[in-house]
């Protein structure tokens, strides 16, 4: 289980009072869900439950791939799709050398050198600690140099089972520390949008995408099926030590990454909207990796794309950090952009 510290939140966050539901409890529930790639059912059901609490008028559907789509009650095709990933990095089990150790692969952007000493949990309830397999190894560069030692009395996982990183969940002075941010933060922002009356009146498709790890396969399927004219993606922005992007300075406009180019017209609209609405916005020259929204480019649809992200320090680790104020400003920016597009 993820240790929950939300009862000790210091109440000075900008987010408080702007979201019409228990925001921190909702965020904890999202982070605590077990949802590695191709096993997203638990977090999808959690999102549906939160939407029901919001009384958001919509049609919900979970497809065979695990994608969750939230559509307007009207039969007209939504012009705009908002896309967020819901899966998280994980460790598929590939071998069991003895009765209490397993070897694993890495699915996602986790770096092997960040893993020794961290705790994990499996889909069958087993728990373990990641260790270096050979103590003589001075530095870890590959997953085959690691193994998971199971804790006492844990049920034994089988090859094909998945493990995910665990860590404490805390919010203090407006800063969130938690694991699994790559597949939860954007979903939380979208839920905050659904609580706004202006969004309830708009014809918007919310796409909570499975298979986000590795380039947005779930997003690709939804774009092919729903054929939106405009797709706006929200993801996380890992902050490197040399990055010009900083936590607490607002969301990030990604004009380009390894597989996505934001539409120039939408880029201009986002920048103009942020300036006129006094919403802080950072611009990333070239982002590493592939955002979840990159799946739209692979879908073959004639769809304009805008890629936004939330800065995260120590991304893809059990103790990633982000500013809740950045999440708040991302929600505000999306609301204003949608108002201007529709």
Choose the weakest-confidence range: 77-91, 168-182, 183-197: 168-182
**Of 272, 254, 264, nearest in space to 304 by CA:** 264
Q: What is the pLDDT of residues 212-236, one digit of tens each?
A: 886 788 999 999 999 999 999 999 9
Question: What does the buried/exposed string (b/e) look like for 294-314 if buried means 16 or more CB atoms within 10 Å of the residue's CB?
Answer: bbbbbbebebbbbbbbbbbbe
How distant, in Å, are the alpha carbons of 43, 117, 142, 146 from that of 133? 32, 12, 11, 5
- Distance spanning both ends of the chain, measured CA to CA: 42
Q: At what angle do helices 185-194 and 324-341 cross, to 10 degrees?
A: 50
Q: What is the pLDDT averaged over residues 302-311?
A: 94
Q: Is 257 exposed, middle or buried (0-12, 13-18, 19+ CB in 10 A)?
A: buried
In the predicted structure, residue 14 carries a pLDDT above the cut 80: no
Q: What is the pLDDT averaged over residues 265-293?
A: 92
Give percent of the chain above pLDDT 90: 63
The confidence score (pLDDT) of residue 97 equals 72
Q: How confident is the model at residue 312 (pLDDT cuts 50, 70, 90)?
A: very high
Choose the weakest-confidence range: 42-46, 149-153, 249-253, 324-328: 149-153
In the predicted structure, residue 8 carries a pLDDT above the cut 60: no
The confidence score (pLDDT) of residue 75 equals 75
Q: What is the pLDDT averaged over residues 115-141?
A: 89
Neighbours of 182 (CB within 10 A): 25
The confidence score (pLDDT) of residue 35 equals 95
Q: What is the distance between the alpha carbons of residues 191 and 208, in angstroms, rounded to a whole number?
A: 11
More confidently predicted of 91 and 12: 91
Q: Which residues pair with 256 in a beta bridge?
A: 261
The confidence score (pLDDT) of residue 80 equals 96
In the predicted structure, residue 20 carries a pLDDT above the cut 80: no
The confidence score (pLDDT) of residue 45 equals 96
The confidence score (pLDDT) of residue 205 equals 96
Mean pLDDT of the chain: 88
- Please report where in the chains the tokens 């649809």 appear, as a residue: 301
The confidence score (pLDDT) of residue 247 equals 96
Q: What is the pLDDT averaged over residues 190-198?
A: 91
Choose the weakest-confidence range: 212-216, 253-257, 263-267, 285-289: 285-289
pTM: 0.91
Any residues with CB less than 8 A from the CB of 158 and at least 6 apart, and which?
93, 96, 124
For 155, the token pair is 């049920």
The confidence score (pLDDT) of residue 77 equals 78
For 76, the token pair is 């007209």
In the predicted structure, residue 7 carries a pLDDT above the cut 90: no
The confidence score (pLDDT) of residue 155 equals 87
How distant, in Å, are the alpha carbons of 50, 133, 215, 216, 231 from that of 219? 21, 37, 9, 5, 10
């Amino acid at each position: 289980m993820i240790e929950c510290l939300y009862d000790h939140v210091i109440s000075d966050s900008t987010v408080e009072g702007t979201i019409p539901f228990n925001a921190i409890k909702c965020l904890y529930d999202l982070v605590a869900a077990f949802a590695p790639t191709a096993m997203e059912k638990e977090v999808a059901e959690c999102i549906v439950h939160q939407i029901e609490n919001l009384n958001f008028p919509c049609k919900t559907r979970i497809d065979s791939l695990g994608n969750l789509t939230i559509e307007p009650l009207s039969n007209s095709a939504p012009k705009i799709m908002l896309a967020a990933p819901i899966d998280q990095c994980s460790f598929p089990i590939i071998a069991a050398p003895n009765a209490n150790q397993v070897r694993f692969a890495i699915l996602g952007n986790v770096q092997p050198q960040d893993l020794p000493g961290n705790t994990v949990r499996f889909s069958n309830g087993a728990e373990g600690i990641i260790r270096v397999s050979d103590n003589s190894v001075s530095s870890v560069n590959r997953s085959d140099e690691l193994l998971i030692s199971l804790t006492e009395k844990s049920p034994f996982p089988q090859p094909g089972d998945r493990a995910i990183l665990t860590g404490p969940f805390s919010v203090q002075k407006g800063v969130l520390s938690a694991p699994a941010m790559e597949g939860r933060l954007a979903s939380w922002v979208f839920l905050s949008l659904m609580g706004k009356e202006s969004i309830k009146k708009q014809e918007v498709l919310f796409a909570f995408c499975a298979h986000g790890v590795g380039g947005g396969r779930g997003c690709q399927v939804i774009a092919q099926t729903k054929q939106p004219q405009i797709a706006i993606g929200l993801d996380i922005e890992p902050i490197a030590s040399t990055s010009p992007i900083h936590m607490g300075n607002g969301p990030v406009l990604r004009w380009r990454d390894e597989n996505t180019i934001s539409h120039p017209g939408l880029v201009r609209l986002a920048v103009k909207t942020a300036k006129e609405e006094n919403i802080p916005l950072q611009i990333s020259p070239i982002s590493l990796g592939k955002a979840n929204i990159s799946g739209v480019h692979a879908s073959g649809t004639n769809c304009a794309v805008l890629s936004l992200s939330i800065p995260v320090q120590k991304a893809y680790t059990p103790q990633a950090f982000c500013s809740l104020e950045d999440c708040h400003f991302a929600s505000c920016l999306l609301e204003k952009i949608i108002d201007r597009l529709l």
